[in-house]
Structure 1
Amino acid sequence: MEITSTEGVLTTLVGVCAFFFWLEKATKSRLFSYLPPLIFIYLTPVLLAAQGILPEKSPVYESIGSLVLPMMLVLLMLKVNVRGALRVLGRGVGVMLFGTLGVIVGAPIGFLAVKPWLEPDAWKAFGTLAGSWIGGTGNMAAVSQMIDASGTDVGLAVIGDSVIYLFWLPILLGSKLFADRFAVFTGVDANRVATMTAAAQAEATDATAPTTPDILGLLTVALFSSWMAELISHILPTIDPYLSASAWKIMLITALGIGLSFTRLSKLPGSHELAMALVYLFVARMGAQTNLASAAGQALPFLVGATIWIFIHGAFCLLGAKLLKVDVHTAAIASAANIGGAASASIVATHHQESLVPASILMALIGYAIGNFAAYATALLCWLVS
């Protein structure tokens, strides 16, 4: 039975998102430590579409892309605290930016290594994955829209993101064992961690539950920003290969969100939680539009390219730590902030030095802020060598 009604398709996508978070909380299974709900939220609509239960095309998919995505980006950017991150992390932000540079440089190299075994448009899969590896899932969703990535390309990016994460996270966690030798290698200041912890505690604020006016205010800000970006994007010139009205809209909405993060609107509670709910809805929508057979056929060479890519990123993180004289804890968190976003950065920080969890979240938010711009540039580099 194919679900064709707007209400039915939207209910299915939202229900899939809600179900796997409920399952994680209800079972407390360790499975979700290795395969987060995101994977199942993506794969379930893939399977439902392959079985003909979800339609290949639906007005719901178009509405989520045109409305939900920009709203999600504004809400994500509202919590970016650039000044706080610089005060707390100092040179740690520099290491994260080295890691970002490693993602940008590594993508075309990894793509070139496996290009003969991939379809011509596979550069879009590398560009989409760059969004996740510089910022997070929200950035991956945004960049996929900017470059008009197909469901297959997004599928490859999700597969690469999940598989590489399974072996990269243990490397970051295990690096704690080499803290002393790493400190000698980089020449780090012995008091650096204590200084960073104190600065993070000074920046910390108590979380408050959002009220009805807070939610209405957030929706107004997100919708108004989306509206303005839509209007402006259609009067700006388009430039080949992929500076389309859609790309302009994403970059404008990102810039607007970052700008608003410097205002009192950033104090409205609930923006991150609302944004992440919209992120997962968008991921479910991407799954419903994926060609499973095509993605599976290219998965192995794509993973080889992504493995080359991730080690180039790691080399850049080491170089940044050496040049900026940063400890292994900060270097590991910087890589996790790039590759896994706020959740992974928090996990790594908890393992290395629990007092650095607030700092790790600040670092990941910087990744959100630069993710769309840097990943878009990465995608164009991959296009140039395709």
Structure 2
Amino acid sequence: MNVDQALITNPGLSFGVIMAVLGLIFYTSAKTSGFWAKFYHHIPALLLCYFLPGLLTTTGILSHDSGDKIYYIASRFLLPASLVLLTLSVDLNKIIGLGWKAIAMFFTATIGIMLGGPFAVWLFHTIAPDWVAGDLWKGLSTLAGSWIGGGANMASMKELHQVNDTLFGTMAVVDVIVAEFWLIALLFMAKKSEGIDRWLNADTTSIDDLKYTVEKYQTENARLPSLNDVMIILGIAFFIVGLGHLAGDVIGGYFAQFSWAKEYSLSSAFLWLVLTATIGGIGLSFTRLRDYEHAGASKIGSAFIYILVAAIGMHMDLTKILTHWQLVLVGFVWILFHITLLFIVAKLIRAPLFFLAVGSKANIGGAASAPVVAAAFHPSLAPVGVLLAILGYAVGTIGAYLTGEMMRLVVGG
């Protein structure tokens, strides 16, 4: 569909339509009974945020040109702002307070993703090299971003490696199919946790202490946000974003003079933008500004992510979305490596299934699904999933970048 053939070509109106679509998705996904409750039990809201905008552009209702303009603002300003706000609330002391086994299982999950990707690429490069040939590793790096941190990290890798929009959409399909399969398995195992913990020979006494600590923390810190809170949160986020743009120009410009640096994307202004946003958010988490999480900093950051996701969706051509169907198999091999490593380590250190499950979903799914899995064990434990997911946001961009480089080396790119 050509731009001039689209029904709506005005970028402002296009943005309004996209925001209305997002509002409708969230309105229906909030239903707790009836058709919509059953629908969203099987279809993640995030997937609709990708695909409904893609459907609107594929059918010629919205123009791809409008999508380009919306995406530029979302990727250069809203994405880094979301990274700041999602890492601002990192409380390393509380995360450490969860116990070393919880942290060990989280990083085991991270390492499982970082090594599982290169392993899967190596395996298929050996038995079916056409499936992972060329620059396909760049698309897989976006999957690594999603599986270590979440949507913000996934989008960071897309922009860093200039991943084709249709390939990115395919990665979204792989992400949902594989991650939802693992989520369903974890929810099933949560119902059998006592038996699995006995098999793991796990000590679960720390879980009871954790329930009390989390409930107390929730009660003492929750508050309703004021207008002052919201404006300060936005001021913090976009000031760091501004510094990130400066860092991108200065540091990226410096590395641009070296040919080897371009090979590792060190000359990319966008790389330094997202690193500055992530490091800036982590740095501020050691200050009192972290308290703005209680006023909804991460919720604002999440809203930015969904706008970005919709803008990405506007670029997709749904008629070509299954071009790389083989990547679903690559994704399953990848996740099986991750799962195998988790159970080996959990057995060795006698970690409870709760730490294995939440550590995994804090990486694969992030704040969207980690609380769901945590609450499956006990409702008061849901915030533990959020805490570990925030840690995933913090390490996701760097972890995904390194995973992508390892996959690049495997295929000789």
The TM-score normalised by the length of structure 2 is 0.88
Identify which of 358, 365, 372 aligns with 2:390.
365
Correspondence 1:321 to 2:346: yes
- Judge conservation of contact 1:130–1:378 (CA < 8 Å) in 2: yes
Cα distance change, pair 165–158 in 1 and its aligned pair in 2 (3 A): same
Q: Find the counterpart in structure 1 of residue 53 from structure 2.
A: 45
Q: Find the counterpart in structure 2 of residue 264 from structure 1.
A: 288
- Judge conservation of contact 2:196–2:353 (CA < 8 Å) in 1: yes
Identify which of 207, 219, 230 aligns with 1:215.
230
CA deviation after TM superposition for structure 1 residue 181, in Å: 4.5
Cα distance change, pair 203–313 in 1 and its aligned pair in 2 (3 A): same
1:240-255 alignment, distance < 5 Å:
240-241=262-263, 242-243=265-266, 244-255=268-279
Q: Find the counterpart in structure 1 of residue 181 from structure 2.
A: 167
* Percent identity of equivalent pairs: 29
CA deviation after TM superposition for structure 1 residue 282, in Å: 0.4
CA deviation after TM superposition for structure 1 residue 104, in Å: 0.5
Cα distance change, pair 316–292 in 1 and its aligned pair in 2 (3 A): same
Correspondence 1:341 to 2:366: yes
- Judge conservation of contact 2:101–2:355 (CA < 8 Å) in 1: no
| Aligned counterparts of 2:359 and 2:269: Cα–Cα separation in 1 | 33
Moved more, 191-200 or 308-317: 191-200
Identify which of 192, 200, 205 aligns with 1:191.
205
| Aligned counterparts of 1:52 and 1:156: Cα–Cα separation in 2 | 20
Moved more, 129-138 or 52-61: 52-61
Q: Find the counterpart in structure 2 of residue 225 from structure 1.
A: 240
1:1-386 alignment, distance < 5 Å:
1-26=6-31, 28-57=36-65, 58-112=68-122, 113=124, 115-118=129-132, 120-204=134-218, 205-236=220-251, 237-238=254-255, 239-241=261-263, 242-243=265-266, 244-268=268-292, 269-298=295-324, 300-386=325-411
CA deviation after TM superposition for structure 1 residue 270, in Å: 1.7
- Judge conservation of contact 1:336–1:348 (CA < 8 Å) in 2: yes
| Aligned counterparts of 1:313 and 1:280: Cα–Cα separation in 2 | 27
CA deviation after TM superposition for structure 1 residue 163, in Å: 0.8
CA deviation after TM superposition for structure 1 residue 193, in Å: 1.6
Cα distance change, pair 345–89 in 1 and its aligned pair in 2 (3 A): farther
- Give the aligned residue type for 2:321: A
Structure 2 unaligned runs (5+)? 1-5, 256-260
- Judge conservation of contact 2:83–2:393 (CA < 8 Å) in 1: no
CA deviation after TM superposition for structure 1 residue 156, in Å: 1.7
- Judge conservation of contact 1:96–1:338 (CA < 8 Å) in 2: yes
Cα distance change, pair 221–28 in 1 and its aligned pair in 2 (3 A): same
| Aligned counterparts of 1:321 and 1:258: Cα–Cα separation in 2 | 28
Structure 1 stretches of 4+ with a deviation exceeding 6 A read none
Cα distance change, pair 167–13 in 1 and its aligned pair in 2 (3 A): same
Three-state SS of the structure 2 residue aligned to 1:63 is helix
- Judge conservation of contact 1:133–1:338 (CA < 8 Å) in 2: yes
Structure 1 unaligned runs (5+)? none
| Aligned counterparts of 2:36 and 2:316: Cα–Cα separation in 1 | 29
- Judge conservation of contact 1:131–1:143 (CA < 8 Å) in 2: yes
Output one character per residue of 1:6-53: Cα deviation in whole Å (capped at 9) or x when no partner: 211211221221111112225642211221211111101111111222
Cα distance change, pair 115–33 in 1 and its aligned pair in 2 (3 A): farther
CA deviation after TM superposition for structure 1 residue 55, in Å: 2.1
The TM-score normalised by the length of structure 1 is 0.94
Cα distance change, pair 311–72 in 1 and its aligned pair in 2 (3 A): same
Three-state SS of the structure 2 residue aligned to 1:208 is coil
CA deviation after TM superposition for structure 1 residue 179, in Å: 3.3
Three-state SS of the structure 1 residue aligned to 2:202 is coil
Output one character per residue of 1:129-182: Cα deviation in whole Å (capped at 9) or x when no partner: 111111112221222222222212321221011111232112112223553453
Output one character per residue of 1:318-344: Cα deviation in whole Å (capped at 9) or x when no partner: 122123321112211111111111231
Paired residues, what number?
385
Three-state SS of the structure 1 residue aligned to 2:286 is coil
- Give the aligned residue type for 1:44: L
| Aligned counterparts of 2:204 and 2:40: Cα–Cα separation in 1 | 36
